[in-house]
Amino acid sequence: MSGILVTVDGTLAVSWKSDEHDVLLGRIREHPGAEELLGSVMTDPQDFDLLNDAFSPDPLFIDSGAGVEVGPPVVVVHVVTGAAGRVVFPRTVVRAQEGSLLSVIELVVDLNSGLLTSIDDGGSTIRTDASEPTSLVVPVTELQVSGGAALAYVFLQALSPSQWQLGHQASTVGSDAVLRSFTVALGGGYARVRTDSSLVGESAASELRAAFFGRGHQMLDFRTIQDHRAPRTRSDLLFKGAVADQSHSVYSGLIRVERGAVKSDAMQTNHNLVLDEGAQADSVPNLDIEENDVRCSHGSTVGPVDEDQHYYLESRGVEPEMAEQLIVEGFFEDIAEQVPVPSARALVGRALAERAGGRHG
């Protein structure tokens, strides 16, 4: 890795940077002029963003030099201790300067749950009461991708079932720049993440991916905006998830093409796998088009495991529970291979596979 930052309940505890790579990282207040970037990417800050502005104790800053290729990723770990009644406000600002190449992996994890949460020793149904959280986590991340730069960003959330998350990831992508973002949601009693990507420069591109797996009584809430503000911009969104037990997922997405953003190309796809009768998945894709010469599409699917696939495996001697696990793992396989940071692909694939396998012990 090029560097690592670790916060405990929002306060920086560990900061290390490799001398081999030209990247700045640390507290944002330690870098002259960097504090001006706080809030600069947010186009529509909401109440919890403003609370993060006011109460984040140690906003972090990651900055690549212009034209520099930073090979290994920078890793950011936000550790939440889970103290009852506590509200935690992690804040991260990432800037990929002109012509640079940068990778960032950001984790929000509960101190006591480990990387994977909500898998009990016996494999029985998880009991998570999302109406009674013990603590609240409000992570805000701002990504600024300057002209000609490329940023790969991975966010993984593994909180305990008694914690709520209200997260926001906002990005601006400049001319000829590329953002590849991947979100993994596994934990939290109620976990919401809003992902805004504004394509502000001509020929800017964003690739937005997410994988999630709801268990117990979890509520996973995803809200996205693909905002095309310049000509010849491209965005491609794919969110895939599974819900089991009594869990519930909601996806609400908007493709917005503003006037003047001619020849924009946008795609929005959401696929959901419902594993139990008590689980529920809702999908609401939307379009808001103010230009004529554009290409936009959206689609979603919600459904159970394919019975023909189940029959095929069982007819060849595979136990029913193992058959379901194999089908679910196959459902996530293609998107797990699209994690934009190669060193994180094994982590994401293993996390999703163990999440699926934990349903039956």
pLDDT tens sequence across 51-90? 999 999 999 999 998 998 888 999 999 999 877 778 999 9
Contact of 230 with 263, CB cutoff 8 Å: no
Looking up tokens 């917005």 gives 256
CB 184 within 8 A of CB 210: yes
CA 15 to chain CA centroid, Å, is 23
- 354-358: which pairs have CB atoms within 8 A and are 24 or more residues apart? 354/116, 354/119, 355/116, 355/119, 355/186, 355/213, 355/215, 356/213, 356/242, 356/325, 356/328, 356/329, 356/332, 357/325, 358/116, 358/118, 358/119, 358/123, 358/215
Domain ranges of the chain: 3-360
Distances (CA, A) of 258 to 96, 102, 261, 263: 25, 29, 6, 11
Q: Which tens digits make up the pLDDT trace of 157-207?
A: 999 888 999 999 999 999 999 999 999 999 899 999 999 999 999 999 999
Phi-psi region of 336 (alpha: psi -120 to 50; beta: other; left: phi over 0): alpha
Render 280-329 in DSSP notation, one character per residue: EEEEEEEEEE--SS-EEEEEEEEE---HHHHHHHHTTT--HHHHHHHHHH
pLDDT tens digit string along 282-307? 999 999 999 999 999 999 898 887 77
The single-letter code of the amino acid at 321 is E
pTM of structure: 0.90
Q: What's the CA gap between 211 and 181, in Å, rounded?
A: 11
